[in-house]
A and B are shown apart, each in its own frame.
Chain A
């Protein structure tokens, strides 16, 4: 059975800190790994990583895929209170199906 595990489940830091969120997976026919940010509504897309694009960066957010270790990290530098959200990792296998992890709840205190 395909499985995605995120850690930590919850993280509380102060504004300005740097955080690293982890995602590990066991998926047959791996095609891609996606990160989403979920506030009080629907998940919004952040990054997609594939074998041909194992590192992505957008502003203060960056992500790396380690296909050997079957894992990915999401880094957020100089955190702001607006970064508070649940961060979801999802892995794509065959037929465009995504398997989601349970999410990391990130809280940024001012």
Chain B
């Protein structure tokens, strides 16, 4: 079974530039998550999709971050304009989304972003 795919793996940009990340979840997984992991910290949830609808985006800095999952499969996360403090690893995860159980989340390899 193919895992969660992400691209690019690395990205270096200057502040105020824009950047986009792509994620393709495990086939059949209805729930997709974007996390931000700053060096030395645990992952922080940015946004959670159930199919193509947003379940939770309470920690997404909406003035500069946006995400979409138009067809309920793959997803893009965009930052515009980027700030120095956005330097982090951006992890995508997916889960089956069973109703009665906390379903295990499976993570992609991440995109390491450096903002100069």
A: residues with CB less than 8 A from B are 4, 6, 31-32, 34, 36, 41-45, 48, 50, 88, 90, 92, 95-103
Contacts and interface: CB of A to CB of B under 8 A. Distances in A.
A100 B107 CA distance: 13
A93 B67 CA distance: 23
A102 B95 CA distance: 22
Interface in B37-52: 40-45, 48
19 contacts: A31-B102, A34-B104, A41-B109, A42-B107, A42-B108, A43-B43, A43-B91, A48-B102, A50-B101, A50-B102, A88-B42, A92-B102, A96-B48, A96-B102, A98-B45, A98-B102, A100-B35, A101-B42, A102-B40
B62 to A, nearest CB: 18
A32 B43 contact: no
Contact of B104 (A45, A102, A103): A45
Interface in B93-116: 95, 97, 101-110
Given A97-B48, A98-B105, 4 more contacts: A6-B42, A42-B91, A100-B42, A102-B41
B33 to A, nearest CB: 8
B24 interface: no
Nearest to B97: A96
A95 B55 contact: yes
Given A100-B43, A102-B42, A95 B105 contact: no
Q: Which of B43, B48, B107 has most A Cβ within 10 Å?
A: B43
A50 B100 CA distance: 12
